[in-house]
Amino acid sequence: MVDTSVSLSGLVLDNPIIPASGTFGYGYEYAELYDINCLGSFSFKGTTREARFGNPTPRIAECPAGMINSVGLQNPGVEKVISEELPKLKECFSKKVIANVGGFSLDEYAETCQILDSQEQVGLLEVNISCPNVHNGGMSFGTDPKMAAEVTKRVKAVTTKPVYIKLSPNVTDIVEIAKACEDAGADGISMINTLLGMRIDLKTKKPIIANKMGGFSGSAILPVALRMVYQVYDAVKIPIIGMGGISTAKDVIEMMLAGATAVQIGAANLVNPFVCKEIIEKLPEEMAKYNLNSLSEIIGGAH
């Protein structure tokens, strides 16, 4: 029997497969399709302190090997997530979930994380620092090491559960930012968030997405994600949740060899809603093919 279990800062997962935030809702929608308890965990929809309608439409543009989205953190706000979404989730998912948190100021990050930290269902906090800082001219928190470190410190000061900082790839040196988060007390890193991209409609000669640009995800970005995870693994001692273009069991093994302890699967869920289940079922076969007995033993194996 092969061992697919991994541990994220003490949170033990049966397998490393985690649907990524924004592609799996709050879980119960997918539970109508299959038993989602087969998952290692999942990262629920990015949650902010107040409810958000999101960005104007159109928000989605297709690409040959992926998609661009500019949804804009649409969510009902943290209080409704706790009062309405988590109780529905508890009926179909018995494991701990990952709470993905967005924010537009240091106070908002801290407050939302503190509220979610108190929820029994939450096993880990994933802090998305790709949000624009409204107090700093709209610059993303994740593009500046000092701001990334400040968010990390503020969140760690008011929480007890592991805090993973989700990094943007739209930077010159992602290693510097990862190290700043580690030095500020982060328990782990999630990476990478989407790349910035756009498409233009040839008929209208205008950008397809109302916001002009959006987050590019899908299989095309896997090599970029692998490269960045590989670089960060060499620089930090905390665990990494790797993501970006993963859609097969082979991709999972490749990402773990680069340095990921667990992986998240995003855009592939929107193409095939059963993809996470299928990857979990396929993993033992792929492990046997490459003479792997334990996934936890291959983390960073390419180094």
Residue 206 lies in a domain: no
Distances (CA, A) of 77 to 9, 12, 268: 27, 28, 26
Say how many C-beta atoms besides its own lie within 10 A of residue 116's C-beta.
23
66 lies in a domain? no
pLDDT value, residue 80: 97
Element (H, E) at 82: none
Averaged pLDDT for residues 225-242: 98
DSSP structural state of residue 167: P
* Contact indicator for 256, 217 with CB cutoff of 8 Å: no
Asked if residue 209 is part of any domain, the answer here is no
Segment 62-71, tens digit of pLDDT: 999 999 999 9
Residue 133's pLDDT is 62
Report the mean per-residue pLDDT for the chain. 95
Catalytic position from the list 38, 92, 113, 131: 131
- Tell me the Cα Rg of the chain: 18
Per-residue pLDDT, 140: 84
Taking only the tens place, the pLDDT of each residue in 80-109 is 999 999 999 999 999 999 999 999 999 999
Residue 1 pLDDT class (50, 70, 90 cuts):
confident
What whole-number percentage of the chain has pLDDT above 90? Answer: 94
Q: How many domains does the chain have?
A: 1
Nearest CA to 102 among 142, 46, 158, 141? 46
Query: What is each CA distance from 26 to 12, 148, 270, in whole angstroms?
Result: 21, 26, 14
Read off the pLDDT band of 132 (50, 70, 90). low
Active site residue 131: yes
Boundaries of domain holding 126: 6-53+74-199+217-297
**Location of structure tokens 């706000």:** 77
pLDDT at 131: 72
Q: Which tokens go with 110?
A: 């801290």
Domain containing 79 — which CATH number? 3.20.20.70
* Domain assignment present for 290: yes
Residue that is written with structure tokens 């107090």 in the block: 135
* Residue 141 to residue 85: CA distance in whole angstroms: 27
Q: Under a CB-based contact definition with an 8 Å cutoff, are residues 283 and 28 in contact?
A: no
**What is the C-alpha separation between 87 and 106, in angstroms, rounded?**
28
pLDDT at 106: 95
Cα of 276 vs its chain's centroid, Å: 14
Confidence of residue 137 (pLDDT cuts 50, 70, 90): low
281 lies in a domain?
yes
For residue 58, is it within any domain? no
Region 227-249 average pLDDT:
98
282 token code pair:
């396929």
Would you say residue 64 lies in a domain?
no
Q: What is the pTM of this model?
A: 0.96
Is position 81 within any domain? yes
Question: What's the whole-number mean pLDDT along residues 186-205?
Answer: 96
Please tell me the predicted confidence (pLDDT) of residue 236: 98
